[in-house]
Chains A and B, each alone.
Chain A
Amino acid sequence: KAGVTQTPRYLIKTRGQQVTLSCSPISGHRSVSWYQQTPGQGLQFLFEYFSETQRNKGNFPGRFSGRQFSNSRSEMNVSTLELGDSALYLCASSLAGTGGPSEQFFGPGTRLTVL
C-alpha cells in the first residue's frame, strides 16, 4: 500500500511570492492534516481537512490556507512568503471520521526555503 506522498520535495522561493504544496493521502484515508516543522518551534498544527471541509485550524496567519478535493488529495497555499516561513511542511493522513482519533501517517515533507 503506497504511503503519503508530497510534492514537491524541495522548494526555494523569495519573499513576497506565494507557494502551493500538494499532498496525496494513503488510499482510503479521508482525513488530511498539515504541520509546520522548524528547529525553534518543533511540529505545529496548521489545519485539518475531512471530506473536503476544514475541520480545525491552528494558530497561523491567514496567509496559510488549504483545501481538500473529492479524492481526498489536499493542497496548502502560503501567500506573501516571509523568511520565517522557511520550514519542513508535513502532511499526515488517517482514516479518522468522527468516532475518535486514529493513527496518523506522515509523508516525507516539503522543504521550503524562503530567501
Chain B
Amino acid sequence: EDQVTQSPEALRLQEGESSSLNCSYTVSGLRGLFWYRQDPGKGPEFLFTLYSAGEEKEKERLKATLTKKESFLHITAPKPEDSATYLCAVTMYGGATNKLIFGTGTLLAVQP
C-alpha cells in the first residue's frame, strides 16, 4: 500500500537550535514529493517540490533533500515564526497526475 510516514509527530526547539524533519515514503513509483507548511486554521502553504534522488532545494532557513526512500526538511537556526505543522506529500506514476498522498505531519514549536 502506498504510504507516507513523517517523524517525529511533534518537535519542540529553542530558537536557533537546528534540526531535521523526516518523511519516508513507500510508493509504487514516485513522481514528485512536496513539502507544505500549515498554520492553525489555514490551508497548507507550498514550500518545495522534489522530483529525483539527490535533489535539494532551499528557501530561507529551510532546505529539503530527497533520497530514494525518504526526504528531509532541514531547519537551520529556526525562529518562533517557523512554528507550524509541516506536511509531506507525494504524487505517483500511474494515477491521477495531481492526487497527493499526505503524511500526518510534524508539529514544530520554536520557543524564543
Is the CB–CB distance between A100 and B100 below 8 Å? no
Interface size on B, residues (CB 8 A): 25
Interface membership of B84, Cβ < 8 A? no
Q: 1/0 contact trace for A75-113 toward B, CB 8 Å?
A: 000000000000000101010111011111111110100
A36 to chain B, nearest CB (A): 11
Q: 1/0 contact trace for B23-55 toward A, CB 8 Å?
A: 000000001101010000111111001000000
**Residues from chain A with Cβ under 8 Å of B100 in the complex:** 33, 35, 43, 45, 92, 104
Which range contains the number of A residues in contact with the other chain? 20 to 34
Is the CB–CB distance between A109 and B43 below 8 Å? yes
Interface membership of A20, Cβ < 8 A? no
> At the interface with chain A, which of B59-67, B71-79, B89-97?
B89-97
Which A residues form the contact surface with B (CB < 8 A)? 4, 31, 33, 35, 42-45, 48, 50, 55-56, 58, 90, 92, 94, 96-98, 100-109, 111
Is the CB–CB distance between A94 and B98 below 8 Å? yes
Interface membership of B101, Cβ < 8 A? yes
B38 to chain A, nearest CB (A): 9
Is the CB–CB distance between B99 and A45 below 8 Å? yes
B107 to chain A, nearest CB (A): 12
Is the CB–CB distance between A48 and B99 below 8 Å? yes
Name the CB-closest residue of A to B32.
A101
Q: In the complex, A80→B32 CA distance in Å?
A: 36
With contacts A42-B103, A45-B99, A96-B97 known, is A101 near B31, CB below 8 A? Answer: yes
With contacts A42-B104, A43-B87 known, is A100 near B43, CB below 8 A? Answer: no
Is the CB–CB distance between A104 and B43 below 8 Å? no
Is the CB–CB distance between A108 and B103 below 8 Å? no
A52 to chain B, nearest CB (A): 15
Q: In the complex, A97→B97 CA distance in Å?
A: 8
**Residues from chain B with Cβ under 8 Å of A106 in the complex:** 36, 43-46
Name the CB-closest residue of B to A33.
B98
B39 to chain A, nearest CB (A): 10
Which of these, B32, B43, B98, B101, contacts A31 with CB under 8 Å?
A: B98
